[in-house]
Amino acid sequence: MSKPKHERGLPETEAQAIVSNLRVSPRKLNLVAAMIRDLPAGKAIATLTFSKRRIAVQVKKALQSAISNAENNHSLDVDRLVVARAEVGRSIVMRRFHARGRGRAARVEKWFSHLKIVVAERAQDNAGTEGGAA
């Protein structure tokens, strides 16, 4: 007995990639996700490549996975892909302790996050005719 099949939740012009349990706090991950929202896919990869934040490497891998899903699984045009959504969610929180003075202890929280990147194929604009011949 298998799980019942359910319909695809995304429109035909979208593809997604989900990464669970990234070892970074949701606040820090959201700063990186905000950098790539509503950018063309190629520009978003370039932005993440030259970002100084540690987690940008994992976000770039997730974005490349979403682009590959769009190309291979849904036959979308890679040149017209745009980062439609980059959603960040809370995951588990590991609680540890840090020894303090006079025999006391302080709690250290190690946050984890979820990331969902959705790329969408945009309709082709007349980008080639802007600022061109008179």
Q: So what's the pLDDT on residue 127?
A: 53
Which residues of the chain have a pLDDT value below 70? Answer: 125-134
Which sequence spans correspond to the domains of the chain? Answer: 14-122
Q: Cα(129)–Cα(97) distance, rounded to whole angstroms?
A: 61
What backbone phi and psi angles, to 5 degrees, belong to 87? -100, 135
CATH 3.90.470.10 for the 14-122 domain, yes or no: yes
Closest CA to 35 of 108, 100, 88: 88
Report the pLDDT value the prediction gives residue 99, as an integer from 0 to 100: 98
The alpha carbon torsion through 16, 71, 77, 36 (nearest 10 deg) reads 40
**Residue type at position 51:** S
- pLDDT tens for each residue of 62-74: 999 999 999 999 9
